[in-house]
């Protein structure tokens, strides 16, 4: 195999991230019927916050606070409580993407596997434990803990430091987001694989080494 290390994004690369289902479950525990319209309004606040977070303009705690501010006022609870309950709900519905378990099983023992994620610690740890993958990925690099988010080169450099600075030519970064995962990986000097399972249009100026539509396709390439 060409690579000694495979670094994965987490959300929508290894794990499904159905935010609407998670929010519906979370708010049902507060006896609230969370509707598609509620979700649309939530996303109007949430999506720009993630852009600012990835651009280093906002901290994880600020993002977690602002996105639930209006609901915290309505329900008379803290934003910290809502954020924690949301992450618990997301862990409760966690599910691997098709082909993820097969890929992990096929690579286990052949290559080192790590994760670099912009997600939050509370969710990442629980999901890995519940899926039995907690011992598979090392390093587990979480932006909330590092204080930098993809595509910042610094979070990739932090991962490489944790990996004892391997030859960058032996490292492949796999992710579904062409900007944070692929452009970030390219800027860090790594080979990249864009997992485009939603059949998105490739952004101009971003050229991954591999472009696949499924994890099964990636498995076939790596093990060819």
Report the catalytic residues: 9
Cα-based distances in Å from 178 to 41, 48, 110, 111, 205: 25, 17, 27, 24, 10
Q: What is the CATH code of the structural domain delimited by 19-92?
A: 1.10.150
**5-15+96-222, what's its fold?**
Rossmann fold (3.40.50)
What pLDDT digit, counting tens, does each position of 47-84 carry?
999 999 999 999 999 999 999 999 999 999 999 999 99
What pLDDT digit, counting tens, does each position of 121-151 carry?
989 988 999 999 989 999 999 999 999 999 9
What pLDDT digit, counting tens, does each position of 87-104 carry?
999 999 999 999 999 999
Q: State the average pLDDT over residues 176-195.
A: 98
Owner of token pair 């485009």: 196
**pLDDT tops 90 at residue 1:** no
In the chain, CATH 3.40.50.1000 covers: 5-15+96-222
pLDDT of 6 reads 98
pLDDT of 224 reads 87
**pLDDT tops 90 at residue 163:** yes
């Amino acid at each position: 195999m060409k690579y000694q290390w495979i670094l994965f994004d987490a959300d929508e690369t290894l794990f499904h991230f159905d935010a609407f289902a998670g929010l519906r479950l979370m708010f049902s525990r507060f006896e609230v019927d969370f509707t598609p319209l509620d979700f649309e309004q939530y996303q109007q606040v949430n999506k720009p916050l993630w852009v600012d977070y990835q651009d280093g303009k906002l901290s994880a705690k600020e993002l977690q606070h602002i996105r639930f501010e209006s609901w915290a006022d309505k329900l008379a609870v803290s934003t910290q409580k809502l954020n924690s309950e949301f992450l618990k709900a997301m862990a409760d519905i966690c599910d691997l993407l098709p082909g993820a378990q097969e890929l992990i099983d096929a690579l286990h023992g052949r290559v080192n596997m790590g994760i670099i994620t912009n997600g939050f610690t509370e969710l990442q740890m629980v999901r890995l434990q519940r899926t039995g993958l907690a011992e598979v990925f090392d390093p587990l690099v979480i932006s909330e803990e590092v204080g930098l988010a993809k595509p910042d080169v610094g979070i990739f450099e932090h991962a490489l430091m944790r990996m004892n600075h391997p030859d960058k030519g032996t490292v492949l970064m796999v992710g579904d987001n062409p900007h944070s995962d692929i452009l970030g990986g390219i800027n860090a000097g790594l080979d990249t694989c864009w997992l485009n399972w939603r059949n998105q249009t490739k952004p101009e100026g971003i050229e991954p080494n591999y472009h696949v539509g499924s994890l099964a396709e990636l498995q076939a390439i790596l093990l060819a």
